[in-house]
Amino acid sequence: MADKRPKSEVIEYNERLMELSQFEIKPDNPDALDLIKLRIDEFHQIAKEHEMIPLVEGLALCFGVQRGKVLEWANGKGGWTPEICKIFDAEISMLTSSLMSATTEGLMNPVSMIYMSKNNYGYRNDDREPMTIKVEIGRTPDQLIEESKNLQIK
């Protein structure tokens, strides 16, 4: 797992990303596609220079919006052309992949990855079903252990 960084390095990283957001890109700008590609490239360069894992939060910061707004853009909302929305969608996919890779390579704790996935990428645990176990009173622990070996989870 990576060492904890001094707060000043993280602040410098965030400040550099915020500097990019000073130059707003609007959907009606004829050069929006090229400007967005350039902004995303700059985002990755800054993350690389600061040895940071690029996340949606950083991407949003360099565009001067909340991360939910970037996720909306990736889903075709916000007035962007379909081509630009595809770029944001591809970028989100790449950032997700980077996060997963960092975890499998031991650069990030899996619990942190789950937390970041829920907060940065909208992952949710909706498919959980309540688990119930019926136990008859009067059986010995050995009997319960033996029976548990034959249980099947649906």
> What tens digit of pLDDT does each residue of 41-96 get?
999 999 999 988 888 889 999 999 998 899 999 999 989 999 999 999 999 989 88
In this structure, the number of other CB atoms found within 10 A of the CB of residue 83 comes to: 10
Distance, in Å, from the CA atom of 126 to the CA atom of 147, rounded to the nearest integer, reads 30
Q: Are 143 and 135 in contact, with CB atoms under 8 Å apart? A: no
Q: Which of 19, 118, 121 is nearest to 63 (CA)?
A: 19
Coil, strand or helix at 135: coil
Q: Tell me the two tokens of residue 69.
A: 């707004």
Q: Determine what percent of the chain is predicted with pLDDT higher than 70.
A: 83
Sequence spans of domains, the chain: 7-121
